[in-house]
Amino acid sequence: MDLSQKIEVAAFALADPYRVVVDLPQVAFRLPDKIGEQSRGLVKAFRYGLIMQGGSRIVLDTSGPVKVEKAFVLDAEAGEPARLVVDLAATDRASFMRTLTLENKPDRLASAKPPEPPAKADNDTRPLIVLDPGHGGIDQGARAQSGELEKDVVLKFAQILRSRLEKTGKYRIAMTRTDDTFIALSERVKFSRSNGAALFISIHADSLPKGEGQAEGATVYTLSENASDAEAARLAEAENKADAIAGVDLTIEPDDVASILFDLAQRETKTYSMKFARTAVGELKSTARLHKQPLKSAGFKVLTAPDVPSVLIELGYMSTKDDLKLMVSDVWQNKTAGALAQAIDTFFGPRLARGQAGAN
């Protein structure tokens, strides 16, 4: 890969799935569209993007265990630009795992944190709503045939919804990301819990794999150990791989999020999550095309906070032209954000009324 100047890089391998991560300072990638989607040699595919402010990353998916023999940057000379070089060699799993155990891994880029929520005054009793635009940075999410990226579509929608909710003055609003930054799934859950969120809404836009036909419409998901159908199970499995897609070493991630699944303490939270999901579906009927089965459930990691009502909303399918046309429309985005804002008002209505009565 050619570079405009020499930079420092660090490369390391990860297992299950086999991949090689190359960390570098924040750079602007100017590469051909869809590059990295074709396999070549030991590399099945590769992706690249921002992993945090100040840091970029390239992740190479490999066909099996590999050894990183060299990773360096050549100086620019003789009219040639600086060049990133990564030499890989095939190896066996036993040697690969032994190397992982023994090697002194380079300092990893720290996982990016969501931006701080707005400061709360001591007498501010307004509920905090956390909006979670899915994906971001190196994790692009679904990609439409025409080039639109899920991470961009859902970020814009979340910003419109935030603006709509802030104008009411009824809520405090925070977002897990406000720009093109990758945020690990566990950080999204911790953010909502540590800030005492009253509602967590994760926003996505699905895409069906090639050969799986066509589907359309918005869907609202809640957390469940058993997926409501095969499509819900497929989607949850795909979304739960976000950290692996970004090259995060899952073996060093704390497992506290997974361990709290379906604890007794979640019963009340799950009830409130389902109540909001039904309310959201009811309001979305007036503005958005809904999936034939608009209310579903599956084991999404991002919904596992035991004390925060949480839903995941799929706005539609990036792989369906009619859905995509709506999702990138300013008119549709504003109408749909309005419907969700109304669902939030309905959900919090009794609580806000009690608060006002108490103030009087």
Question: Which DSSP string do the residues of 209-224 spell out, in sequence order?
Answer: PTTS----SEEEEEE-
Q: 2-102 maps to which CATH number?
A: 2.60.40.3500
Cβ–Cβ < 8 Å for 207, 143: yes
Q: 128-359 maps to which CATH number?
A: 3.40.630.40
Residues 185 and 83: their CA atoms lie apart, in Å, by 33
**pLDDT at residue 327, as a whole number:** 97
Q: What is the CA radius of gyration of the chain?
A: 22
Residue 194 dihedral angles phi and psi, to the nearest 5°? -65, -25
Hey, where are the domains in the chain? 2-102, 128-359
Coil vs helix vs strand at 29: coil
**pLDDT at residue 258, as a whole number:** 47
Question: What is the DSSP secondary structure assignment for residue 263, as one 8-state letter?
Answer: -
Question: Cα dist. 356→33, 62, 197, 340, 359 in Å?
Answer: 54, 58, 20, 23, 5
Please check whether the two domains, 2-102 and 128-359, share a CATH topology: no
Spatial CA neighbour of 180 closest among 131, 138, 148? 138
**pLDDT at residue 187, as a whole number:** 92
201 forms beta bridges with: 131, 311
**What burial class does residue 33 get, using C-beta atoms within 10 Å of its C-beta: 0-12 exposed, 13-18 middle, 19+ buried?**
exposed
- How many Cβ atoms are within 10 Å of 91's Cβ, its own excluded? 17
Q: Which pLDDT tens digits describe the chain residue by residue (360 residues)?
A: 999 999 999 999 988 889 999 999 999 999 988 888 889 999 999 999 988 888 999 999 999 999 999 999 999 988 899 999 999 999 999 999 888 766 655 555 556 789 888 888 888 899 999 999 999 999 999 999 898 999 999 999 999 999 999 999 999 999 999 999 999 998 999 999 999 999 999 999 999 877 666 789 999 999 998 899 999 999 999 998 888 888 886 555 555 544 544 454 477 899 999 999 999 999 999 888 999 999 999 999 999 888 999 999 999 999 999 999 999 999 999 999 999 999 999 999 877 776 655 555
Coil vs helix vs strand at 322: helix
Question: What is the DSSP secondary structure assignment for residue 123, as one 8-state letter?
Answer: T
Coil vs helix vs strand at 233: helix
Looking at residue 338, its amino acid is: G
